[in-house]
Amino acid sequence: MKLAGQTAIVTGGGRDIGLAAALKLAAEGANVAINYFSSGTGADDAVAQITAKGGKAFAMQGDLTKQADVDALVDRTVSELGGINVLVNNAGGLVARKTIKDMPDDHWTTVMDLNLNSTFRVTKACLQHMEKGTIVNLASQAARDGGGPGAVAYATSKGAVMTMTRALAKEVGPDIRVNALCPGMIDTDFHNVHTPDAGRRGYEAAAPVKRQGTTEDTANLILFLACDDSAFITGANIDINGGMLFS
């Protein structure tokens, strides 16, 4: 039980990478606060699974681009679960593929607010209650290579998350470690919506491991970064892409 007695917040925890992470952290003994925006069914199911096994968890709807919702999540976590030891900043999204020349200002602002500013808001709020612990951010392979067509805003926001990860690790160490994942093609609803099937098949053919990643793959890495197995790692942005990009 690598996280026994600890409390974790997982944002965007109602589906895909966030959902798998919430279940993985709970399986290792953590109490888990699951934030979701629209995936309430998945979040509630996760809570049911965790509590059925004797764990503690709750799910809470919230828009993390709004400070009031961030504060409500953090306050409830502290009051019901006793503190914060692990933060997984997973909430975010591409929103839509738009080239710069066709991009309205509000699209750029929306993507930045969703991916970067929400990470800032939640992190700042949690640090008021974290004396020792870990922060795990979700960046992206797009932050390394610019992403696919129409992903300039998304790639830029995730690149900023990578830089924030490095800077924050310096600021809050040694008692709090900060790292990030840079996922490539993970089999999730994100790619169901934004990536043509032919692109996914091409990825499988080209990747050295000959498959897409799974949410279990990402959950395993999140757990590693959240627990003491990675005690000498901080400020790292770790690729998890099946060998499609080496950094």
- DSSP-H helix ranges across 115-243: 118-127, 142-145, 152-172, 189-194, 197-206, 215-226
154 included as an active-site residue: yes
Q: Please identify which of the residues 37, 154, 190, 203 carries the catalytic annotation.
A: 154
CA distance 31 to 8: 6
**R_g over Cα of the chain:** 17
Roughly how many angstroms between the first and final C-alpha of the chain, as a whole number? 32
Question: How many helices (H) and strands (E) are present in the chain, helices listed first?
Answer: 10, 7
Contact 121, 9 (CB under 8 A): no
What type of residue sits at position 161? Answer: V
Active site members: 154
